[in-house]
Structure 1
Amino acid sequence: MSQQHERFYALERLQDLKGQISKGMAEMLSLRGKVEKYKESDLPRAQRLYLELQKERNHLVSALGEAQLFLQETEEYQLSAMGAKLQQGMQGFNLMATAYKPVYEAVMAFAGKLPDATQTTNAAIIGRLMNNVKMGYYPTDPVNIDLILKGITFPSGVTTNLLDPCCGCGKALRQVAQGNNCFTYGVELDESRAEEAQTILHRVGVGSFFHSRISNEAFHGLFLNPPYLSVLTEGGGRARHEKRFLVESLRALTMGGLLIYIIPYYRLTSDICRILSDNFTDLTVWRFTDSEFKKFKQVAILGLRKKRSDDPDTANTLEHYGYTPTAISVLTELAEGQYAVPAEAKTVSVFKGERFNEKELERQLRQSNSFQKLMSKNELDSAQKHPLLPLSIGQVGLIGGSGMINGLVSCDTPHIIKGRIVKVKQVDEHEQHNAKGMKMVTEVKEVISNKMIFNVLTPDGFRSLV
């Protein structure tokens, strides 16, 4: 896809927010005028209009907050800071104030500065986004994986199952499992990376994770570094995989199982934070080391799965980190052994990728009882067999004629036997006479039959059995 046709989610969303913020501010100004108009003559109507004004303000505050995150993604940090100030000011703004003009001008000026995905003036922004895309593939930095591992304790005496729903070439998951008595499972969409992953992971499913079949609650650990910065699909639909992978994969994690979720800090949006807080406990957020964080803005979110329950306070805390990355502690500060992987043994009974995988098929056939039974027929064919009943004379003839009993016969009186079939021609003549006894015709009937002959060589001499 050429650069002029690249359509990034962040730019598209900022364009939508540009319209929402402008329209929301104009609507607030209109509603404020109507409240003023009816507050003396029709108080109930003025009260209803005031409630609408409050809702509109809430929508505007939400849009300003969302714009900040996408501005962080596009590295428009000054504009993001401006949005944060406007959001804070709008939250405390007195809706019955008469000085709406300065607020209106400030909000409209901010909206006017937001990037427009339909114009070519955003070449610098697109360039920054393109530098980070890498076809959606972000191998996790090995140094930061080691820092994460420092904070994890694996059980002794139990083989733990680890799952990476977008494993790439498998190196990150292999590093997590190395020396920790783990069985590794990965799923990868790209066939070339999946082929490489098969050489270092125990099992790899090829194809889309969303169309794979995997056992629920069978994994002790979930390592999730989903694709970032998803572009729009050909049909125009928007897809951010950070959220979808989290929703679809958490069911595979056992209760108490450890989540390692790696995303850019600006993807700590309200919906993702709510999913995390409702399904995990002991949640912590850690910033990658400075050099790596500067490139991809990554954070590691660690937590233990729990039964779903609402936790809005934790969600708000997580969401705050999306706006203030400087408040996030660096991974070097993660305490040693802070998280323990469950010690309960688990069985992964179902693990099938979307697409046909020869190596996975080979593994399944080796474990299949049906395949073993099929192969055991060869052993039966090569084993010594005895008839259940004595052979009939016809069966003896067939065996002898086919040559299956030719050769040395080992018994009390050893002998060599060879069977052969010869054709025998028999001619019968039958004369027919008339009533006076005179010969009319001679009928000749020729019959050809097979005769079985066994030639036997014994210590006492040669014998021929017919």
Structure 2
Amino acid sequence: MALMFPRLARNFARNGYYPTDEATLERTLQALAPSPGCMRIIDTCAGEGVALAEAAHALGRENVEACAVEYDRERAAHARGLLDRVLHSDLMDTLISKQSFGLLWLNPPYGDLVADHSGASVYQGKGRRRLEKLFYQRSLPLLQYGGALVFIIPHYVLDDELCGWLCNHFTDLRIYAAADATFKQVVIFGTRVRRQDLVKPRVAVMRDRLRAVAADLQAAEELPASWPWEPYVVLPAVNELEHFCRVSLEPEQFADEIGRLRGFWPDFMLHFGQTGIQPRPPVRELSNWHLALALAAGAISGVVHSKTGRVLVLKGDTYKDKVRKTEFTEDADGNVSEVRILTDRFIPIIRAWDMTPDSPDRGRVLTISSSPSESPTPATEREPEPDPVPSLLFETGRLVMTRAVSDLVERGVLDPSLYLRRHIAGDWGELCDEDRQTNQQALRHGDRLLSSYDLSIDEEPRLWIITETDRSVTTLLLPSDY
């Protein structure tokens, strides 16, 4: 007894992989023509890379840079042997420069989107949620205006929404049935144009044509064995491919980094924020995927290259400070009254991580701010004066902080090391006599220790430091975290 429909059975056997058949590929390539200059083409679901490699040879392999994205590991490895650049990645997890390709070859995965991490969260549309439409949305910005589209999908995917997208984004649209009718595929050709350049009567006619093919009201002509029309010209690349990388780490890269570093660096923010400690240089030179990951996470704002060759990784932030002003007024009777005024002031801070290759300052953190306390001296940066090392009354164990405290440290408005030194030296801060006596007894009997310090920050007036009874953990927190 059959357990599934024949089409689903073939899909299962191929694991959802629909490579373009040889006859359809040969006929499709006849519709493309090269242009003078260096061309750049892309396939955002490349499989083993055969289709794009054949397209590159048909256009003139020496003048074509072929780029691809493929999710499957084995197929991506095979494609690397045929193409110039291949990313083993989910297309939704990539950073690729827009309008950088003269040909978009799009034979996406087929099927409905599901409510998980398969990309449904980034889908934008009101019609049926399909993988083909998601890949179209993500791939379209990569094609330059005037570039050629080859779109291979099952004809039943062409709902009203997708037909509208195609007619609004492309001109000279043509649709043909694939030479192999096994998967009911159609091949759609088009030239990308701006919407204002479209001829409205032709748009309406083509939309009706696509809808009729999708609804089986009109059969698409089979892809001709010899192309009878003017071919679609693949334009030369007009700009450099600035971004072509995967945003997240590949599992092998992540495993190698953890093994090389022998684990994560514990309490990074606490150690990084301490004064008096020379910042460590980066563990390795930042690659493209390092920068893409940091940019996507908001850890950096960009990378600046100076004319002298200096490379700075920037992170900008702004925090609000209070400006205190006191005014004295005297009435007719000679009575003097005091008025205190607090005015908000927004202070920008820009931190730069020097990543200049072979520089003695590589890894140094520079700060630019309008706040006098944040600005370095004109000649050179101020070197922090080392504080006297306090006597250690007890072991602090592992140092941790809450998210709210970490946010203050990142913004540069709190230096936790100052208060940690007071804590381990037995300076309990602003505690009552009873709590101070309790801490002194805890030092002798091994109970929990608590310090409380007033902060000169209006939004957070106080910092607590708690060392547990077994001295295994010391926590920095705000009263609002407790």
Question: Which range, TM-score by smaller chain?
Answer: 0.3 to 0.5
Higher helix content, 1 or 2: 1
Q: Which has the higher contact order (CA 8 A, sep 6+)?
A: 1
Larger radius of gyration: 1
